[in-house]
Amino acid sequence: MKRKIAAILAADVAEYSRLVAEDEEETLTRLASCREVFEDFVGKAHGRVFNTAGDAVLAEFPSAVEATRCAIDIQESLRTRNMGYPAHRQMLFRIGVTIGDVVEREGDLLGDGVNIAARLEGLAQPGGICVSRSVYEQVANKISVHFKDIGVREVKNIPQPVHAFIVEMDDSVAGAWRQAPGPRAKPRRTGLPLIAGGVGLALCAAALAYALRKSGDDAPPRPTASVEAPPRTYAELAKSGGLVQDARTAPELYHNARSYEARGESAAARQAYGALAELGVDAIDAHLRFAALLRAQDGRAGVRELYHRLRDKTGVGAVGLVYATLFEGEERRRRVEAFAASRPDYGPAYLLLADEYSDDRVGAQTIADRRREAEALQRFLAADADGRLAPYFLDQSVLAEWLERARRRLAALEANLKTASADPVVRFTRSNAGWSVAISTPEPATSIGWRIGGAGEFTPTGQIAAIDQRTGRPMPNPSFELPGETPATTIEIRYADSAGRLVGPFRVAFDPATALADGQRDLLERFWTSWLAFGADGRLLYYSHLMSYRCAIAKAEIGFDGATPSQELPMPACDRDNPFSIPAGTRPYLAAPPGAKSVAARLTYVNGAQSETREFRRK
């Protein structure tokens, strides 16, 4: 047996068992094809595949640099291969790379190096790469990619913890234009330099301008651009060995741009994306990535200037939509709304429009925001059902991610909107002085107004001396007063939500008799312990509380010492002008049976409802 130090690459397929269970024949065919990719790239990197048991691939290399570069090329090639498949059918490999001591036996390699590489592979995301600290230290200043330090990890069957780093592959297009930066371990770059700032903008703009000028009658025919590409197109690109020489079609240029991005070669990626833009391809995923790259280099103002020129020259929908997203706040929302209104058949616009109303974008969503977001998501999914999405995506897996996100978010919104109250709750309370109208809005409000009869100006309720912590603004007064003699009428309520948008008006029927009865019934139910009370000597039973709220009561019945309530208490008629007063000469009490120790009471309200039977004991 021969012992040596080698760089080891370990890979396997994420969710391989599920893929086999869903379609065994196709999965095995694709696995064999993917192994050819490994063999090809490993051979070009002067390595050797020494084991392919099951869905795994194990390879050795003479250096960590070659092993890591090979891993990046493999993942980019496989990513291209997956672009034509929906998300649930993509074959994603996880790759781990380390340097370690190994023993060679009959062509196979054994030892700690192989074991640690296999454990690192388990720490990688599907489609990702995880390397050991020893690899990171050797490649950090030689490969133009970012690494993320994930710290020291305990891994199975390895006695010592492993310090691991993730190669950041930039795999999210759906949110690429608004990714938040995180802590990164940044290598010193020795590859192709980044074009940044005004110089980068000038060069890219010049390249585009030249190409656009060449599109006149005296120019040679430009390559035709097709957005949709079948899976076999991407499979052929993956077999091409990474980069496509003399790339001319949209899939070829997009493949090259993504490959350069994965390698950290931003200038080359920029050039490939620029060539793709020259073709006039209406691919929203490609333009979002291009804009994200430009913004990282030139800032928002720089990429906005370039996309403004590109929009005016090409008229491509994706260019116009991306341009709208390059503004801030209300201006961005207004522009995305205007684009969607002017291009109602452009399906991808509706997911970006939904984002403008999302809680991530607006902070605390209003009910109107949630409804608008749900409507935009519904239109996005309807566009998919009508076949109006796929033509605008070069990478169909990105479309699958967008659709999954839209369905998940719409389900949550519909559940919220279904259970949430949409109208204000209005409660009328009568006093001897008049009516108090209390308003509870279904969301934080910054102002509340009311009017009677549906005509005239709304009267503001004013503000109270308190700050609503949900809005950061003075809290509106949630009530107003009406005269006691106000007749039956309709009251309209409206409010301004936290964004300042007026909501309503909401029509509320006001019937004095019904409102009085409902208000008094509510008070009776809340304070039922005050209905009845025995006198100090137990000879009298007082029911002045019931008499004060008699306008809600059709019948009050009592029963002593466990008897079913059947004795009706005498009550004066309801006086709606002075509803809480007890008429002179009326006795709000009656004689209790000698020795009575308890009494039960039951109320029948004027609306026909009955209260629970309540028991009151003599003290």
| pLDDT, position 237 | 61
Model confidence at 474: pLDDT above 70: yes
Residues 448 and 384 grouped into a single domain = no
Q: How far apart are CA 440 and CA 430, in angstroms?
A: 18
How many helices and strands (H and E) does the chain possess? 18, 24
Per the DSSP assignment, residues forming a β-bridge with 2 are: 104
Candidates 510, 492, 588; CA nearest to 542 is 588
Give Cα 88 distance to the centre of its chain: 20
Q: How far apart are CA 140 and CA 66, in angstroms?
A: 13
Model confidence at 484: pLDDT above 60: yes
Percentage of the chain beyond pLDDT 70 is: 87
Candidates 543, 545, 538; CA nearest to 592 is 538
**CB-CB contact of 473 with 446 (8 Å):** yes
> Among the residues of 124-196, which ranges form H helices?
133-139
Q: How far apart are CA 346 and CA 344, in angstroms?
A: 6
Instruction: Answer whether residue 10 is part of any domain.
Output: yes
Q: Could you say which of 382, 401, 419 is where a domain stops?
A: 419
Residues 279 and 336 grouped into a single domain = yes
| pLDDT, position 392 | 93
CATH assignment of the domain containing 502: 2.60.40.730
CA atoms within 13 A on the CB side of 54: 11
Strands 129-132 and 93-105, bridge-based pairing: parallel
| pLDDT, position 487 | 92
Instruction: Answer whether residue 176 is part of any domain.
Output: no
The owner of tokens 């209260």 is 611
Per the DSSP assignment, residues forming a β-bridge with 491 are: 452, 508
Q: What's the pLDDT band for 201 if we cut at 50, 70, 90?
A: very low
Q: What's the pLDDT band for 337 if we cut at 50, 70, 90?
A: very high
Residues 278 and 228 grouped into a single domain = yes
| pLDDT, position 73 | 87
- Region 523-533: mean pLDDT is 94
Identify the residue with better confidence: 361 or 358.
Answer: 358
The string of pLDDT tens digits covering residues 29-72 is: 889 988 988 998 899 889 999 998 888 999 999 999 999 999 99
The owner of tokens 């719409």 is 410
Residues 114 and 261 grouped into a single domain = no
Instruction: Answer whether residue 185 is part of any domain.
Output: no
Residues 298 and 407 grouped into a single domain = yes
Residues 95 and 165 grouped into a single domain = yes
Instruction: Answer whether residue 396 is part of any domain.
Output: yes
Residues 274 and 333 grouped into a single domain = yes
Q: How far apart are CA 20 and CA 311, in angstroms?
A: 45
| pLDDT, position 54 | 87
Show the tokens assigned to 220: 């040679």
| pLDDT, position 229 | 53
> What residue type is assigned to position 349 of the chain?
A
Model confidence at 156: pLDDT above 50: yes
- Region 311-329: mean pLDDT is 91
Model confidence at 520: pLDDT above 90: yes
Instruction: Answer whether residue 359 is part of any domain.
Output: yes
Candidates 131, 127, 132, 167; CA nearest to 34 is 127
Percentage of the chain beyond pLDDT 90 is: 50
Candidates 276, 129, 269; CA nearest to 208 is 276
Show the tokens assigned to 424: 């204000």
Per the DSSP assignment, residues forming a β-bridge with 13 are: 93
Residues 273 and 350 grouped into a single domain = yes
Instruction: Answer whether residue 177 is part of any domain.
Output: no
**CB-CB contact of 242 with 73 (8 Å):** yes
The owner of tokens 């950090």 is 140
Tally of CB atoms within 10 A around 360? 10
The owner of tokens 């994200």 is 292
Candidates 564, 570, 568; CA nearest to 599 is 564
Total domain count, the chain: 4
| pLDDT, position 181 | 31
Residues 412 and 441 grouped into a single domain = no
Instruction: Answer whether residue 186 is part of any domain.
Output: no
Residues 339 and 433 grouped into a single domain = no
Quickly list DSSP for 331-390: HHHHHHHHHHHH-TT-TTHHHHHHHHHSHHHHSS--HHHHHHHHHHHHHHHHHHHTT-SG
Q: What's the pLDDT band for 481 if we cut at 50, 70, 90?
A: very high
| pLDDT, position 228 | 53
Residues 36 and 151 grouped into a single domain = yes
Q: How far apart are CA 235 and CA 85, in angstroms?
A: 11
Show the tokens assigned to 435: 């009516």
Identify the residue with better confidence: 206 or 158.
Answer: 158
Provide the mean pLDDT of the chain.
84
The string of pLDDT tens digits covering residues 578-603 is: 888 889 889 999 999 999 999 999 99
Report CA-CA distances (Å) from 464 to 146, 448, 458, 526.
54, 12, 18, 27
| pLDDT, position 171 | 45
Please tell me the least confidently modeled range out of 151-155, 446-450, 477-481, 539-543: 151-155
Q: What's the pLDDT band for 356 if we cut at 50, 70, 90?
A: very high
Q: Is 229 helix (H, G, I), strand (E, B) or coil?
A: coil
Model confidence at 377: pLDDT above 90: yes
φ, ψ for residue 21, nearest 5 deg: -65, -35
Q: What's the pTM value of the predicted model, to 2 decimals? A: 0.57
Q: What's the pLDDT band for 14 if we cut at 50, 70, 90?
A: very high
Residues 219 and 298 grouped into a single domain = yes
| pLDDT, position 87 | 77
* Domain containing residue 20: 2-169
Model confidence at 207: pLDDT above 70: no
- Region 91-116: mean pLDDT is 89
H or E stretch covering 254: helix 250-263
Q: How far apart are CA 95 and CA 278, in angstroms?
A: 36
- Region 298-310: mean pLDDT is 86
CATH assignment of the domain containing 84: 3.30.70.1230
Strands 598-605 and 614-617, bridge-based pairing: antiparallel
Instruction: Answer whether residue 406 is part of any domain.
Output: yes
Q: Could you say which of 419, 447, 466 is where a domain stops?
A: 419
CATH assignment of the domain containing 249: 1.25.40
Q: Could you say which of 419, 453, 476 is where a domain stops?
A: 419
Identify the residue with better confidence: 482 or 179.
Answer: 482
DSSP state of 83: T
Report CA-CA distances (Å) from 418 to 226, 371, 421, 551.
42, 11, 8, 36
Model confidence at 396: pLDDT above 80: yes
